[in-house]
């Protein structure tokens, strides 16, 4: 698709669920309405971290896409293409698909979601008569197909085995010495790519290599809590991108959909492409993390006397910028993430998002601004790729990722986006 871009500069806020218009009032795009409802159910109510939440957003948006596409029939389906008439209600199909997937994943939220869904459906027109009921039937069918397809897919399965904590191997880090809340993500069956092994990265640098020493000394200096070379803007960027990445980017997508004038068919495809690509980037990233199990910078700097590299010097008291002492505007406080370092999960997902935006719009040159609930600041970008470049740097400035992990994570996310471009969502007319 080659949509003509419109320059936008809009503050993107995580709108609380209660800030939606009255459910009896139908907004312009059911896809963005239900993406917001889904994001709140998954991220806010269920409290799922990015690598888990994106799996469930992918399920929602994949079912929504199939529901809308069944009526439009302009592109290949993701899973199924139920029988439909062109006059069937796409809005009802969207609401039914999203609702049924959400309650299938979160049965404990049934009462809240049922109330939202019923009010939303009541507010939809039934023109021609029966079109709303037909749309509901279609959405329920695509939701059922998605829930069936994702049964026994590895979600919430057993964790991978950890390697003994020798030099270079990950171990829980100060100050909380926490373990990964979702180590199983890397064993989930992918949504798009045929095999997670095709996403394997080149891996971290050897501890005794010059490249490792280069990465080490960069982050030791610029990623330190007390760095005198990191600028205030770099500090802001590091904290900014620690907002929940999946919620942040879906806010961006909702604003882009409105600013670029997407219709409901285009919106359904955009949100499905983005979240399905992102889901596989996280599956691939987590699988790669536990394949390499590389240590975090805080461990590397404090234990550099054990790495066998003459060009690295230990600092047993070193702290990264991501430390509880660093002020943020919303909890939780900043810490080193509690899972292996390589590759960066954030650059995996950001790369998948950015490359898929480029594919969808046919250009990288669309400007946007975004607001972070972690830094409570707004940052602006002239191109989609500018955001990815900043995230690659920001994870170094944060003191939590070596540059190599960020660059290789971006390569992994790009592989997923490229595969999706070649094999999914192809036009049929």
pTM for the structure as a whole: 0.93
Residues 265 and 362 reside in one and the same domain? yes
The structure tokens 């896409």 sit at: 65
Residues 134 and 197 in one domain: no
Q: Look at residue 14 in the predicted model and tell me its pLDDT.
A: 32
249 with 146: CB under 8 angstroms? no
* Tokens, residue 194: 């045929």
pLDDT tens for each residue of 95-148: 999 999 999 999 999 999 999 999 999 999 999 999 999 999 999 999 999 999
Domain assignment present for residue 9? The answer is no
- pLDDT mean across residues, the chain: 94
Counting Cβ atoms within 10 Å, is residue 258 exposed (0-12), middle (13-18) or buried (19+)?
middle
pLDDT tier, 13 (very low <50, low <70, confident <90, very high otherwise):
very low
Show the CA angle centred on residue 266, arms to residues 370 and 368, nearest 5°.
15
Is the same domain home to 88 and 202?
no
- In the predicted structure, residue 18 carries a pLDDT above the cut 60: no
Total domains present in the chain? 2
Cβ atoms of residues 171 and 299 within 8 Å: yes
Please write the tens of the pLDDT for every residue from 344-377.
999 999 999 999 999 999 999 999 999 999 999 9
- Asked if residue 157 belongs to a domain, the reply is no
Confidence at residue 21, expressed as pLDDT on a 0 to 100 scale: 30
Q: Which of 51, 41, 49, 12 is nearest to 350 (CA)?
A: 51
Domain assignment present for residue 167? The answer is no
Task: Give yes or no for residue 380 having a pLDDT over 50.
Answer: yes
The answer, yes or no, to whether residue 27 has pLDDT greater than 70, is no
Q: Mind listing the pLDDT tens digit for each residue in 189-241?
A: 999 999 999 999 999 999 999 999 999 999 999 999 999 999 999 999 999 99
341: in domain: yes
**Segment 296-323, tens digit of pLDDT:** 999 999 999 999 999 999 999 999 999 9
In a domain, 168, yes or no: no
> What pLDDT, on a 0 to 100 scale, did the predictor assign at position 10?
31
Q: Is residue 180 part of a domain?
A: no
**CATH number assigned to the domain comprising residue 289:** 1.10.606.20
Are residue 232 and residue 83 in the same domain, yes or no? no
User: Which tokens in the block code for residue 14?
Assistant: 């995580």
Q: Identify whether residues 348 and 205 lie together within a single domain.
A: yes
Contact of 349 with 246, CB cutoff 8 Å: yes
Per-residue model confidence (pLDDT) at position 28: 55
Dmax of the chain from CA atoms? 77
CA–CA separation, 18 and 40 (whole Å): 10
% of the chain with per-residue pLDDT over 70: 93
Residue 7 is predicted with a pLDDT of 35
pLDDT in the model for residue 201: 98
CA distance 141 to 162: 41
- Model pLDDT, residue 26: 37
Domain containing residue 36: CATH number? 1.20.144.10
Contact call for residues 415 and 199 (beta carbons, < 8 A): yes
Q: Are 219 and 342 in contact (CB under 8 A)?
A: no
CA geometry: angle 106, 48, 266, nearest 5 deg: 80
Looking at the fold, whether 138 and 225 belong to one and the same domain comes out as no
Q: How confident is the model at residue 4 (pLDDT cuts 50, 70, 90)?
A: very low
Say if 164 falls within a structural domain: no
Using H for helix, E for strand and C for coil, what is the string for the chain? Answer: CCCCCCCCCCCCCCCCHHHCCCCCCCCCCHHHHHHHHHHHHHHHHCCCCHHHHHHHHHHHHHHHHHHHHHHHCCECCCCCCCCCCCCCCHHHHHHHHHHHHHHHHCHHHHHHHHHHHHHHHHCCCCCCCCHHHHHHHHHHHHHHHHHHHCCCCCCCCCCCCCCCCCCCECCCCCCCCCCCCCHHHHHCCCCCCCCHHHHCCCCCCCCCCHHHHHHHHHHHHHCECCCCCCCHHHHHHHHHCCCCHHHHHHHHHHHHHHHCCCCHHHHHHHHHHHHHHHHHHHHHHHHHHHHHCECCHHHHHHCHHHCCCCCCCCCCCCCECCCCCCCCCCCCCCCCCCCCCCCCHHHHHHHHHHHHHHHHHCCCCCCEEEECCCCCCEEEECCHHHHHHHHHHHHHHCCCCCHHHHHHHHHHHHHHHHHHHHHCCCECC
CB 216 within 8 A of CB 304: yes
Q: Kindly state whether residues 256 and 393 are assigned to the same domain.
A: yes
pLDDT at 20 over 50: no
Per-residue pLDDT, 348: 98
What is the pLDDT, as a whole number, of residue 17? 32
> Which pLDDT value is given to residue 282?
98
Decide if 120 is inside a domain.
yes
CB contact at 8 A, 268 and 28 = no
Structural domain harbouring 229: 191-423
Q: Are residues 419 and 340 in the same domain?
A: yes
Q: Are residues 343 and 216 in the same domain?
A: yes
Q: What is the pLDDT of residues 140-178, one digit of tens each?
A: 999 999 999 999 999 999 999 999 999 999 999 999 999
Q: Is the Cβ–Cβ distance between 42 and 48 less than 8 Å?
A: yes
Cα gap 213→206, rounded to integer Å: 9
201 and 134, same domain (yes or no): no
Residues 323 and 248 in one domain: yes
Whether residues 145 and 38 share a domain: the answer is yes
């Amino acid at each position: 698709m080659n949509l003509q871009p419109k320059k936008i500069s809009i503050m993107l806020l995580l709108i609380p669920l209660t800030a939606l218009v009255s459910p009896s009032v139908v907004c312009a795009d059911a896809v963005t309405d239900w993406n917001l409802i889904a994001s709140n159910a998954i991220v806010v109510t269920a409290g799922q971290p990015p690598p888990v939440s994106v799996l469930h957003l992918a399920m929602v948006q994949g079912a929504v896409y199939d529901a809308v596409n069944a009526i439009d029939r302009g592109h290949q389906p993701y899973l199924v293409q139920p029988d439909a008439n062109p006059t069937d209600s796409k809005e009802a199909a969207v609401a039914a698909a999203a609702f049924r997937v959400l309650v299938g994943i979160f049965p404990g939220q049934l009462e809240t979601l049922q109330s939202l869904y019923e009010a939303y459906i009541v507010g939809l027109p039934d023109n021609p008569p029966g079109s709303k009921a037909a749309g509901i039937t279609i959405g329920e069918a695509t939701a059922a197909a998605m829930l069936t397809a994702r049964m026994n897919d590895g979600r919430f399965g057993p964790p991978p085995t950890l390697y003994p904590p020798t030099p270079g191997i990950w171990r829980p880090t100060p100050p909380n010495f926490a373990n990964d809340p979702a180590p199983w993500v890397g064993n989930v069956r992918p949504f798009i790519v045929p095999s997670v092994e095709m996403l394997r990265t080149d891996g971290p640098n050897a501890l005794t290599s010059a490249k490792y020493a280069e990465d080490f000394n960069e982050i030791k200096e610029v990623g330190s809590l007390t760095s005198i070379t990191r600028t205030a803007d770099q500090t802001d960027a590091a904290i900014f991108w620690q907002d929940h990445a999946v919620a942040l980017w879906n806010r961006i997508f909702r604003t882009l959909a409105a600013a670029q004038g997407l219709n409901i068919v285009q919106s359904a495809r955009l949100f499905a492409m983005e979240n399905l690509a992102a889901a596989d980037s996280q599956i691939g990233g987590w699988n790669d993390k536990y394949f390499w199990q590389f240590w975090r910078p805080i461990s590397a700097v404090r234990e550099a006397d054990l790495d066998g590299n003459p060009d690295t010097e230990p600092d047993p008291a070193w702290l990264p910028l991501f430390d509880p002492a660093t002020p943020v505007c919303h909890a939780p406080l900043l810490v080193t993430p509690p899972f292996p370092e390589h590759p960066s999960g954030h650059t995996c997902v950001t790369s998948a998002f950015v490359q898929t935006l480029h594919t969808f719009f046919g250009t990288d040159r669309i400007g946007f601004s975004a607001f972070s609930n972690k830094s409570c600041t707004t940052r602006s970008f002239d191109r989609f790729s500018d955001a990815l470049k900043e995230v690659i740097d920001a994870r170094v400035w944060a003191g939590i990722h070596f540059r190599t992990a960020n660059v290789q994570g971006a390569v992994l996310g790009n592989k997923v986006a490229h595969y999706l471009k070649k094999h999914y969502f192809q036009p049929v007319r």
